[in-house]
Structure 1
Amino acid sequence: MQLRDQMQALAVTTPHNFSCAICMEEQPVDNSVYLECNHLICRACTRGHVCSKIEEHRFPVLCPVCMAEPNNHRPGAISGFLVQQIGVDERQYAIWEDMELSQLSVLLHCRQCRRSVSVDKEEHEESRLLSCPLPDCNHIWCKACQKSITVGDPPHSCDGASELDHLMKQHGWKYCPNCKTPVQRDGGCSHMTCISPGCNTHFCYACGEHIVRSALRGEIQNAISVHYSVCKLFDFPDEALGGGE
């Protein structure tokens, strides 16, 4: 009975071995690294794998055993805590921190001050306009077309449509009600004929309303007479039949 008890106590204190999934060598369990994906790898193999991926600037660093499994579509990843435990040097850990940070941020380059700074990746993806976060710059530009934006200017559009609309409202210019061609009257009556080929739209420059779309002189004259008999913004009905600009 005493011998049996001694054997049981010895079995408890005897270190257990395991077979590393990478080098296949039998090693003490104390020399193992237990990954979150439940794979057991020796510290030397884990460190060698992590260091090689750090030098290659590959992130995330995935479990090598998971990557070797053909049907594993959700491989485990090496955590930052584990990288600290396996003992990489300061230079390598600095690279690791930069790679970790890159998952949450993006490097923003300002074309005005010629400097770069890391900004929140989610905010960057959601923003339509970008602003240099440096306090002595504050340059703003469009993420899509890279055009600079001035505070107080009309709302920006990459194709200039918003700016044109703002300018037309400032000067009281009108769009053709059919094809939306911008029209500026520089004299004459308020009857306007669209200059866009094939449009043949006639409209009132005073109220902006559509009069008629036709190339027939009779139809045009009748429609003009009807419109200017009811148009409240037109003050000179005798000019209505005088031809448009």
Structure 2
Amino acid sequence: MDWHLAFQLQQASSSSASTIGNNTPLNSSTFTTLQLPPAQENFECGVCAEVHNVNVRISLADCGHMFCKECLTTYTRTKIGDGRYPIFCPECVVERPRAIKSQLAENEIQQLDIPAESLTRLQELQLVLHCITLQCPRCKEVMNVDRVQFTEQSVLVCPLPRCGHKWCKSCLKTLASSQHQHKCKNSNIDRLMKRKGWKYCPGCRTPVQKETGCNHMTVSFFSLPDIYSHFCYKCGVLMVDTTFGGDVGTAVTEHYMECQLFEKRWRCSIQ
């Protein structure tokens, strides 16, 4: 009798499990698929270390470091205001050696909220990187010439149509318009510079005389007075041709690990 009752209960349980509500059989159409909202993608800014939504993320292509738009905009505007170009990745400046730091590309800078005056300043910094700023001895106009062409040529010509002045890059002597070659190895300026120990600026070839101080020489440009060329007065090597931010100090330190920063003119007499 107990066995028969248990069998009936088992049949009732199995039949009730196959129906729901008003004895409706279960099938695949009975269930409704729930649509979950998409997960929000976030990232951590490399400057402020806060978590932001990917909508404000700017990733640098060269190194892959990610920053929020506000932080990278502030950083870039500060570097432009300080006359620093190229603009290096904030994280690479701390993490990597100077030779392999990635730079902000043009399309990455365009994504930032940079005002028009800062963009104009940036173009000037880019121009200085690839050009030499000269002043014509005759018309006194300031001009930018290609750095590579300036290095290869020994005779310079003012590009202004109303001037066209031609002069020697080394001795600054005025040349005739038909004169394309000039030798000034034995010129008075060369003999004077050799006798006095003066040096030519390796960037613009302007004669430079050191009056006092160390051998680290700084030359400013005509049109950009806060942009400098750094060279060694001892050996004449150009260390940095523009203000690369912290790289100025790094380049000077690396150079004078092998060269002489101060002249050894005195000897200690204390025994």
TM-score (norm 2): 0.53
Aligned length: 156
Which is worse superposed, 35-44 or 96-105? Answer: 96-105
- Partner AA of 1:50 in structure 2: T
| Match for residue 142 of structure 2 among 76, 95, 116 | 116
Q: Which structure has the bigger radius of gyration?
A: 1
* Equivalences for residues 1-245 of structure 1 within 5 A: 2-3=32-33, 5-7=34-36, 10-11=37-38, 14-36=39-61, 37-71=63-97, 73-152=99-178, 155-160=181-186
Distance 2:43 2:185 in 1: 66
The change in CA–CA distance for 1:71 and 1:159 in structure 2 (over 3 A counts) is: closer
Distance 2:156 2:93 in 1: 39
Distance 1:75 1:67 in 2: 7
The alpha carbon displacement at 1:140 in A equals 0.8
The change in CA–CA distance for 1:152 and 1:93 in structure 2 (over 3 A counts) is: closer
Distance 1:44 1:57 in 2: 20
The change in CA–CA distance for 1:136 and 1:39 in structure 2 (over 3 A counts) is: same
The alpha carbon displacement at 1:28 in A equals 0.2
CA RMSD of aligned residues (A): 2.0
Distance 1:72 1:125 in 2: 26
The alpha carbon displacement at 1:71 in A equals 4.3
Gaps of 5+ in 1: 162-245
The change in CA–CA distance for 1:155 and 1:84 in structure 2 (over 3 A counts) is: closer
Structure with the higher fraction of residues in helix conformation: 1
SS in 2 for 1:148: coil
The change in CA–CA distance for 1:155 and 1:34 in structure 2 (over 3 A counts) is: closer
SS in 1 for 2:132: strand
SS in 2 for 1:92: helix
The alpha carbon displacement at 1:151 in A equals 3.4
The alpha carbon displacement at 1:154 in A equals 9.1
Higher relative contact order (CA 8 A, sep 6+): 2
The change in CA–CA distance for 1:155 and 1:125 in structure 2 (over 3 A counts) is: closer
The alpha carbon displacement at 1:59 in A equals 0.4
TM-score (norm 1): 0.59
